[in-house]
Structure 1
Amino acid sequence: MSLRVGVLGATGAVGQRLIQLLAPHPDFEIAALTASESSAGKSYREAAKWRIDAPIPDDVAEITVGATTPDDVPDDVDLIFSSLPSSVGAEVEPEFCEDGYVVSSNSSNGRMDEDVPLIIPEVNADHVDLIEVQRDERGWDGALLKNPNCSTITMVPPLGALDEAFDLTNVHVSTLQAVSGAGYDGVTSMEIIDNAIPHIGGEEQKMESESRKLLGTFDGAEVSLHGMDVAASCNRIATLDGHLENVWADAEEDITVEGAEDAMEAATGVDLPSSPERLITVFEEPDRPQPRLDRNIEEGMGVAVGGFRETTAGVQFNCLAHNTMRGAAGASVLNGELLAQRGYI
């Protein structure tokens, strides 16, 4: 039996990716779409300036878009996916949770709240039970779960594999992030052509804090942040999709290139429809991964790594993931599948 789902912010870049993934999903049926007041009352075909390189699904195109309030979403919707701007999400998402809706959100608001699970299912699925604490503390019948930032989600699966094997102490990362991470209107052509922008507002702080929460320990009552130090430098470059990151990882135990590659190759997916069979693909070539060649690995849900070399205290490597698939819409869908599997819907 399919679960009825809704999408908040359905006309935006991540919202469109959600539509692309949810329309053919074996377990989910799109039953409600919301957007800004200017889009409310229009068919989705009229409201969305469609930019995905595949047609709008026919059964979704004629759905009438509602305003983004609980009153505009049917009571029989089982699960909400949110791709709202964080300023809107901070106000609206708790309203949906108070009304009994379970929300799997890509928005950045609330990710570091102590009672909000921040989840990559292949890394820290056990943190989902923080929902029990959340419901007790907030009195919600619904629940709020977050996926991390698109840059964080690229490096954390490889780091998780290294941490399990070698006990990480320090991580430094420099990113080369695609323009789609800023949304369709986020970076103008005059800014990015023949250029690189060595600052993305708030991105460094997200990577530094979210990675420690994701790799932290949940004791049934709270998440203790991982003790490693994380420092990030985030840069926007003129690629369309795919965040490439250069990572330096130090650990308590000695890390060899062979040991790092073996640890990452051993990382596995989880038993959910959207989880890739191979979570991390290791390239031996020193010039891989590359955004244009490797962003769609495992249908955009895998992480690619390569360029390994030993350093004085650990290992350096490069990693890549598709930022709007694995890093955004796909991550939210995967978390929705986890919520259903664990009985929170």
Structure 2
Amino acid sequence: MIRALHRWPGLLALALVTILALSGAALSVFPAAERIATPQAEAGLTVAILADRIQTAYPGVEQIRRSPSGRITAYWFDQGEPGAAVIDPATGKGVASADPNQVERWLTNLHRSLFLGDGGRIAMATGAAAMLVLSLSGAALVARRAGGGRNWFAPLRGPLAGRLHVEIARIAVIGLVLSSTTALWMTASTFDLLPDGGAVPAMSAEVSGEMGFALDQMPALRQTPVAELRALSFPYPGDATDVLTLKTDRGTGDLDQGTGALLGWADLSGWERISETIYMLHTGQGAATLGLVLGLMALGVPAMGATGVLV
């Protein structure tokens, strides 16, 4: 029964899981490469100082974002023309283009949806489910062949193809279970099947109607390390009723642009924290080394597919 459960889904979904695995392995390189190439903020740097440096360099800044790799990107308008750049936190000035990597974007679209929109997402989720079934049934077969879980790495006998298939599976199965499970969670989140939407801060005070309070003097920004920053959005120019919105790895808050006061705050929910952890585990964003390890494990899929056909 277990062998049939392992063989037939494997044969039927071989092409799909191979595309998933190879594209995922290729994508696992980008978080590490971004981490290496990104100017990192010095220890102790606060959002207040960073925002002040960037606003000095780009007075029309409208948003500052920080990626899990530590890359700071600023977006601004200058005389009606939009601009964006990767920022050196030490100076607040741009050091590289903020344009997305086209190869990474192409691979991401292939990996997520086969360039087929929602239908492609469902197809790739089906592939992830097949990979999970293959991983769990394969683990059961390996344990049975080895004489139990305690003998997981016991020496093998038999034809070369069969031994290679099992040897690769012994190492790769943990990563494949993790990748396929997190992929299914992310698909459910994409289709709003999980209650992990962000909460909107509830205003606890009225907007002052004033403008121009110095960024480096705002208490909330001074108390927030850059390492916790997700994004800082600036108010619309000339609109005294608009606010600054601060997003961190703890939650989201609105700040009065005229007084610097914190007007409202919403912590991340438990569901949001779980989904963000799942995203990190699946993509390697914020865990580049883990991403590379999972990418290497994913390369075992086409090898196991080839040897599995021969078994």
| Structure 1 and Structure 2 fold alike (TM over 0.5) | no
TM-score (normalised: structure 2): 0.25
Which structure's residues are more often helix, by fraction? 2
Higher relative contact order (CA 8 A, sep 6+): 2
